[in-house]
Amino acid sequence: MAAGPRTRVTHVLLASYAALGAAVLLGVLADHRPLLWATKPLLAPCLAALLLVDPMLRRPAMPFVAGLGFAAAGDVAMLAGRAWLLVGLGLFLAMHLCYLLGLLALARPGRLAIVVYGLVWLASAGALWSRLGSMRIPVLGYAVALTAMAAAATVAGRLAAVGAGLFVVSDLAIGLRIVDVDVPGRAMIIMATYVVAQVLIVVGVRRRLAP
């Protein structure tokens, strides 16, 4: 595909993602489950297409495409209810590990990013430790992968770094939900930060991979 058509397809995919994201947020606001089921599972495939549209990026982008596949499945699991929470965590854990592999193939993160996100993990673990009970190991293990991915995302530029930081915010809000800590507007916070985080990470990675 020539550069001109690729650019048009890229714009269409970004516009489609924006429309899907808006619909998902509307579904959260209205607590409209059918709308969420119709839109949320399409977010990650839309971003995967954004990475695959340029043949030059397909091979280095494959870890991220695989990660987005796990994210799509994780979105479905999270929609299925609390009984599927551990399945959802496992799928998003796989997503973070895929992202981490793809990011480390680009470069190693600086010490500052590692220290900052290490402290984020320690603070989160300390705050949630006594409340997690039987969920302690899976949640804190997941948080290791999450913060490692966020630190690694700093190698892919500002957009990806901001996106990864928003992912941490989103998942911390989920962690508070797991331990039954009430946060006003929590569902909207979780979803809004997730929707923005994913597109910023993918666009940042796409720019970093571009020749």
Model confidence pLDDT, tens digit, residues 76-89: 999 998 889 899 99
- For residue 26, the number of C-alpha atoms closer than 13 Å in the C-beta half-sphere is 10
In degrees, to the nearest 5, what angle opens at C-alpha 28 toward C-alphas 192 and 15?
55
Instruction: Name the least confident of 36-40, 89-93, 122-126.
Output: 122-126
- For residue 80, the number of C-alpha atoms closer than 13 Å in the C-beta half-sphere is 14
Which residue type sits at 102? Answer: G
Confidence of residue 4 (pLDDT cuts 50, 70, 90): low
Alpha helices, H only, the chain:
3-30, 33-52, 58-79, 85-104, 111-132, 136-152, 158-178, 186-209
Confidence of residue 53 (pLDDT cuts 50, 70, 90): very high
Distant-in-sequence, close-in-space partners of 206: CB < 8 Å, separation ≥ 6: 50, 51, 54, 57, 61
Q: What is the mean pLDDT of residues 97-122?
A: 96
Distant-in-sequence, close-in-space partners of 8: CB < 8 Å, separation ≥ 6: none
Question: What is the domain extent for residue 17?
Answer: 3-209
The predicted-structure confidence for 138-157, as pLDDT tens digits, reads as follows: 999 999 999 999 999 999 99
Task: Give the residue with greater pLDDT, 206 vs 182.
Answer: 206
Distant-in-sequence, close-in-space partners of 24: CB < 8 Å, separation ≥ 6: 35, 36, 39, 40, 43, 191, 195
Count of domains for the chain? 1
Count the Cβ atoms, other than its own, within 10 Å of residue 175: 22
Cα 92 to Cα 114: distance, rounded to the nearest angstrom: 21
pTM of the full predicted structure?
Answer: 0.94
